[in-house]
Amino acid sequence: MNDDRPLRPAAQHTMRRRDLFGVGVAMAAPALLPGLPVTLGSSGQGGTSGDDRAFWVQMIRRLADPVLDNLSAGTLKARMPVEEADGAKRADVTHLEGFGRLIAGLAPWIELGPSTSGAAGAEQAERQRYAELARKALSRAVDPASPDVMNFTVGRQPLVDAAFLAQGVLRAPRALWTDLDASTRTQLVQALESTRIILPGANNWLLFSATVEAALAKMGAWWDRMRVDYALRQHEQWYKGDGIYGDGPDFHWDYYNSFVIHPMLLDVLAAVGGESPGWERLKEPMLQRARRYAAILERQIAPDGTFPAVGRSLAYRCGAFQSLAQMALLRQLPADLPPGQARAALSAVIRRTLEAPGTFDPQGWLRIGLSGHQPGVGERYISTGSLYLCAAALLPLGLPADDPFWTAPAEPWTAQRAWSGGTFPIDRAI
pLDDT tens-digit map of 283-299: 999 999 999 999 999 99
238 burial level (CB within 10 Å; 0-12, 13-18, 19+): buried
* Cβ burial 328-341 (10 Å sphere, 16+ → b, else e): bbbbbbbebbbbbb
What percentage of the chain exceeds 70 in pLDDT?
87
In a domain, 27, yes or no: no
Give the range among 15-29, 175-189, 330-344 with minimum mean pLDDT: 15-29
When divided into structural domains, the chain yields a total of 1
| 250-290 pLDDT tens trace | 999 999 999 999 999 999 999 999 999 999 999 999 999 99
> Would you place residue 113 in the very low, low, confident or very high pLDDT band (cuts 50, 70, 90)?
confident
Give the model's pLDDT for residue 114. 77
| 187-238 pLDDT tens trace | 999 999 999 999 999 999 999 999 999 999 999 999 999 999 999 999 999 9
Give the model's pLDDT for residue 50. 66
Which value, to the nearest 10 degrees, does the dihedral of the CA atoms of residues 359, 364, 367, 370 take?
30
- What is the H or E stretch that residue 245 is in? strand 244-245
In a domain, 25, yes or no: no
Answer whether residue 45 shows pLDDT above 80: no
The amino acid at residue 126 is: E
DSSP bridge partners of 383: 84
Give the model's pLDDT for residue 222. 98
In a domain, 393, yes or no: yes
- pTM of this structure: 0.89
Give the model's pLDDT for residue 117. 46
140 burial level (CB within 10 Å; 0-12, 13-18, 19+): buried
Q: Where are the alpha helices (DSSP H) in 219-276?
A: 225-237, 256, 262-272
| 301-329 pLDDT tens trace | 999 999 999 999 999 999 999 999 999 99
Answer whether residue 38 shows pLDDT above 60: no
> Would you place residue 27 in the very low, low, confident or very high pLDDT band (cuts 50, 70, 90)?
very low
Answer whether residue 11 shows pLDDT above 90: no
The residues, any chain, with a CB within 8 Å of residue 14's CB and separated by 6 or more, are none
* Neighbour count for residue 121 (Cβ, 10 Å): 11
In a domain, 343, yes or no: yes
Phi then psi dihedrals of residue 241, to 5 deg = 115, 155
Q: Residue 421's Cα: distance from chain center in Å?
A: 33
Answer whether residue 16 shows pLDDT above 70: no
The one-character DSSP state at 20 is T
Length of the chain: 430
The residues, any chain, with a CB within 8 Å of residue 42's CB and separated by 6 or more, are 48, 51
Q: Which domain holds residue 355?
A: 49-419
> Would you place residue 115 in the very low, low, confident or very high pLDDT band (cuts 50, 70, 90)?
low
Pairwise CA distance, residues 7 & 101, whole Å? 28
Pairwise CA distance, residues 310 & 348, whole Å? 18
Pairwise CA distance, residues 73 & 147, whole Å? 10
Answer whether residue 39 shows pLDDT above 50: no
In a domain, 42, yes or no: no
**CB distance 326 to 107 below 8 Å:** no
Q: What is the CATH number of the domain that holds 204?
A: 1.50.10
Question: Based on C-alpha coordinates, what's the Rg of the chain?
Answer: 20
Helix, strand and coil content of the chain, in percent to the nearest 5, comes to: 55, 0, 45
Give the model's pLDDT for residue 33. 39
In a domain, 188, yes or no: yes
DSSP bridge partners of 366: 360
Pairwise CA distance, residues 341 & 231, whole Å? 34
Give the model's pLDDT for residue 10. 36
The amino acid at residue 291 is: R
Give the model's pLDDT for residue 122. 86
Pairwise CA distance, residues 361 & 364, whole Å? 5
**CB distance 191 to 149 below 8 Å:** no
In a domain, 247, yes or no: yes
**CB distance 339 to 333 below 8 Å:** yes
In a domain, 254, yes or no: yes
